[in-house]
Structure 1
């Protein structure tokens, strides 16, 4: 009986959160596309210029493009459309 409790605790405390992180990472990787704004793990923001299987080219300034590992992408920044945002006057 105690062994069953230990196995159940291991599953809920270790395996489930790991699976959730893995799913979130796979989702982020599948959403990568040229033109997307991203933040890499080091905190640098940029726009994806090109993608390959292992790397991506990220424009971090007007004439500065760096090549980084796809796994370095921490999150995708949602695009904000200026036309959709409401102005303070309305």
Structure 2
């Protein structure tokens, strides 16, 4: 009877899953975070950097603070925007949120 219990205990210990299986849920969560959060954010950041790098004089832009203006001058770090006739401000290029495409029925800035 003792031999049977000892054999059963040894058999149960031999059937334990490998240690790497306990890491599988953690690796799965990291993969989910990568594909659902990190990767799309990196794509969005690259698209924003491309927009900022492609700024040119005459573009109408929207800043992160909600100011709409027309680009008058583009430098390495700053852009000069005209937000009203004769009113110009310098903003960091990184704070420019979007380039506004002129569309039908959209009011023209600085008219």
Q: Same fold (TM over 0.5)?
A: yes
**Superposition RMSD in Å:** 1.6
* Equivalences, count: 82
Larger helix share, 1 or 2: 2
Distance in 2 between the 1:55 and 1:30 partners?
11
**What TM-score, normalized by structure 1, do the two folds share?**
0.80
Higher relative contact order (CA 8 A, sep 6+): 1
User: Which one has the largest radius of gyration?
Assistant: 2
Distance in 2 between the 1:40 and 1:80 partners?
19
Structure 1 stretches of 4+ with a deviation exceeding 3 A read none
Structure 2 residue runs of 5 or longer lacking an equivalent are: 1-23, 106-111
Matched, 1:33 2:39: no
Structure 1 residue runs of 5 or longer lacking an equivalent are: 83-90
